[in-house]
Structures are given as structure tokens and as C-alpha cells.
């Protein structure tokens, strides 16, 4: 059984060598100065730095997948009627009474939004129009929100591991 453990350890060491060689050829050149610094580290330092890089990459993926939301909002601008005849209604419901009729291409000022309906002002009247009857005209902005979930702390720990690995430099003879 003791020989099996040494054999398994040898396989693990060989696997680490192969991974290291792959990273040296394929990844480190793309990391610029960071890749060069990792190359100058001791074998143990390289392993630390590689584990740190993998952990940092995992943190970035988790942050993007789980903690960041991106949405596009229309800001200002107007709504344009896109159907030949658009009914502006008294409430946000297709069953509510029509308060004014708008022709295709006519502009309306948006005042709010609720459940697929825009609250609008047109020709001095305030009412509601279904979102599929209008097109938004104006500026769009991307809103990026980040929710703190602790991945940032893990990312900085990974960065510290990378730095510690790099600081383990080969001694020159």
C-alpha cells in the first residue's frame, strides 16, 4: 500500500508539471509582466500564484453571474404611436374607457410605467397606453448594479495568494 501512495504522489507531481508547462506556454505570455513575475518564482511560488489566479478567475465569474445585474433604461425622450390608431385609456386596462385617440407617429410624454402600460400625457390629457402600441424614442442608459456577497473578499484573498507566490523568487547562485 505504501508503494501505491508514492505512485499516486508521482502521478500528482507529473500532473502539476504538465499543468505548469501548459500554463507557461499558453497562459503566462498573455499575462504580460504578471506572467513574467510568476515565471521567476520558485516552483512552490508558481503553484501558489496559479492557485491564486484560478481562485481570482472563479471569483470574477461568480461576481458577474451572481452579484451583478445589468439593465437598459430609457431616459427622457418620448413615446411614438406605432399603430394607425392608438387608444389612450383612463386606466391601465384594455377594458377601461378611451379618453383620447392618437394617430401613428404622434408623440406622447411618458409619465410612468406599470405592468405593460405607460402613463402618458398627450394633447393636454393624461391616460394609459399599452406598451405594444408605442415605441420609445430618446436616450438609453445601461444601469449596472452590484450586490455585495463576499466574493470581493475572496478575490482579494486570491490576489494576496498570487502576490505571495510571486514573492517566492528563485535564489540566484
Structural domains counted in the chain = 2
pLDDT of residue 173: 41
In a domain, 172, yes or no: no
Q: What is the pLDDT of residues 77-120, one digit of tens each?
A: 789 999 999 999 999 999 999 999 999 999 999 998 898 999 99
Q: What is the pLDDT of residue 6?
A: 53
Query: Cβ(71)–Cβ(79) under 8 Å?
Result: no
Grid coordinates representing 152 are 470581493
| 39 in the same domain as 24 | yes
The reply to whether 123 and 78 lie within a common domain is yes
Q: How confident is the model at residue 171 (pLDDT cuts 50, 70, 90)?
A: low
pLDDT in tens, 37-75: 888 888 888 888 988 998 999 988 888 888 888 877 666
Domain identity same for 102 and 134: yes
Q: Which residues sit opposite 79 in a β-bridge?
A: 108, 136
Q: What is the pLDDT of residue 120?
A: 94
Give the other-Cβ count within 10 Å of 165's Cβ: 23
Which pLDDT belongs to residue 161?
92
My answer on whether 20 and 57 are in the same domain is yes
CA proximity to 99, closest of 90, 110, 107? 90
Tell me the pLDDT tens digit for each residue of 114-155.
989 999 999 899 999 999 999 988 777 777 887 878 888 888
* Beta carbons of 139 and 74 less than 8 angstroms apart: yes
Same-domain status, 139 and 126: yes
pLDDT above 80 for 1: no
Determine the structural domain holding residue 126 and report its residue range. 70-144
Instruction: Convert the pLDDT of each residue in 11-34 to its tens digit.
Output: 777 877 787 788 888 888 888 998
The owner of cell 506556454 is 25
80 and 137 in a single domain? The answer is: yes
In a domain, 173, yes or no: no
Cα atoms in the Cβ-side hemisphere of radius 13 Å centred on 144: 4
Q: Are residues 21 and 41 located together in one domain of the fold?
A: yes
Q: Does one domain contain both 43 and 23?
A: yes
**CATH number assigned to the domain comprising residue 120:** 2.30.30.40
* pTM attached to this predicted model: 0.49
| Grid cell for residue 77 | 425622450
Q: Do 80 and 14 reside in the same domain of the chain?
A: no
- Please check whether residues 133 and 157 belong to one and the same domain: no
Are 49 and 105 members of one domain? Answer: no
**152 phi, psi to nearest 5 deg:** -65, -40
Q: Do both 27 and 76 map to the same domain?
A: no
Integer distance in angstroms from the first to the last C-alpha of the chain? Answer: 40
Amino acid at each position: 500500500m505504501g508503494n501505491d501512495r508514492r505512485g499516486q504522489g508521482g502521478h500528482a507531481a507529473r500532473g502539476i508539471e504538465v499543468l505548469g508547462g501548459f500554463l507557461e506556454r499558453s497562459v503566462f505570455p498573455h499575462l504580460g509582466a504578471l506572467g513574467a513575475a510568476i515565471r521567476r518564482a520558485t516552483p512552490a511560488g508558481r503553484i501558489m500564484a496559479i492557485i491564486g489566479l484560478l481562485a481570482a478567475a472563479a471569483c470574477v465569474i461568480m461576481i458577474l453571474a451572481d452579484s451583478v445585474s445589468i439593465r437598459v433604461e430609457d431616459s427622457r425622450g418620448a413615446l411614438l404611436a406605432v399603430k394607425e390608431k392608438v387608444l389612450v385609456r383612463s386606466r391601465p386596462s384594455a377594458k377601461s374607457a378611451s379618453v383620447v385617440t392618437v394617430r401613428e407617429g404622434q408623440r406622447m410624454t411618458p409619465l410612468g410605467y406599470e405592468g405593460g402600460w405607460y402613463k402618458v400625457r398627450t394633447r393636454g390629457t393624461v391616460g394609459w397606453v399599452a406598451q405594444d402600441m408605442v415605441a420609445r424614442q430618446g436616450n438609453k442608459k445601461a444601469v449596472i448594479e452590484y450586490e455585495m456577497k463576499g466574493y470581493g473578499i475572496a478575490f482579494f484573498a486570491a490576489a494576496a495568494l498570487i502576490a505571495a507566490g510571486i514573492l517566492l523568487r528563485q535564489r540566484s547562485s
